[in-house]
Amino acid sequence: MFSEPDDPAVVDRMRAAHAVACAALGAAPCPPASGGTREAWGWRGRTLGKPATGPYGPGWLRVVHSSVERAGGKLWTGPEDAERLVPRHVPRPRLHLVREWAEGDDVYRAELYDCVADGAVSAAPLLGEAPRLTPAWWSGLRTAIGGLSTVRTERTAVRQAYLNRAMPKYLGFLGWPVPTAAPAWSTAHGDLHWANLAGPQLSILDWEGWGTAPAGYDAALLHAYSLAVPETAERVRRELSDILASEAGRFAELVVITELLQSAERGDNRELVPALRHRAGEVSGLGR
């Protein structure tokens, strides 16, 4: 989740679209007394989600915005594809209804989900403090990552062409050539950070970008977003050791570090850069 956009016009437009979505799906915003004021914003106001009561009872109504020329594609259809293709034993809120409409050059997509009883582990992708999670939660996460990795799909979360281009550029500080060919590929959630994980009852949120990625990608991403809290980073390494300690897992960490160093150039999570660079040295050193 992200903070409310700075641009009041974006805030007003998305809140108005959410009201349209409620009417289109036969849903009603939850009243303030039941927590209905809670808003979950996506990056730069691209999405807005709120609690709602609909035809299936308590739920979560999420609205996605795109320009006409960018509507469609992987991110647009991800949640619907996940509902259809990902086994139910991978814990996530069920997607019940979808509606799309256009307003001039703007296109909107409304998605009505089951309500998730427990909130996200963190309000932001980057962890700020150690969460209290049970052994059962970690066991469930391992099972979910393993189950998802075997799902067959033509969707792509990370492309080899990107690795060939970006890894030498953003890992050049290591001082030696970094391999860019993944040891293995598997299916990943693609955005497995702490704001997309609910607890204490495990549920995995936000299925926009799932698809094939270097094997170990989800574990590597969760570890990277834990680096600001060393206690939790160590817990991730321990709980997901079968993945992260492997050759594929070490490579996946370098992929994730590449992506986050690139996003830091745009101003995202700059405070994480020293830890990312240090971890890249550790991981690449193990692989030499």
| Residue 36 pLDDT exceeds 50 | no
Overall average pLDDT of the 250-255 stretch: 98
Q: Is the peptide bond before 55 cis (omega within 30 degrees of 0)?
A: no
What are the CA-CA distances from residue 15 to residues 45, 100, 174, 231, 238 (Å)? 10, 16, 46, 38, 42
User: 161-184, pLDDT tens digit by residue?
Assistant: 999 999 999 999 999 899 999 999
pLDDT of residue 171: 97
- Give the residue-averaged pLDDT of 204-221: 97
Average pLDDT over residues 103-126: 93
Average pLDDT over the chain, rounded to an integer: 93
Stretch 38-45: mean pLDDT, rounded? Answer: 86
Q: What is the sign of the dihedral through the CA atoms of 221, 225, 95 and 8? A: negative
pLDDT number for residue 119: 87
pLDDT on residue 153: 96
Residue 116 neighbours by CB under 8 Å, 6+ apart: 60, 93, 198, 203, 205
Phi and psi of 273, rounded to 5°?
-55, -50
Question: Tens of pLDDT along 76-94?
Answer: 999 999 999 999 999 999 9
Mean pLDDT over residues 26-37, rounded? 69
pLDDT score of 31 more than 80? no
Residues with Cβ within 8 Å of 190's Cβ and at least 6 positions away in sequence, in order, are 157, 158, 209, 210, 211, 213, 217, 218
> Comparing 27-41, 49-63, 64-78, 199-213, which segment has the lowest mean pLDDT?
27-41
pLDDT digits (tens, 9 = 90+) for 21-30: 999 999 998 8
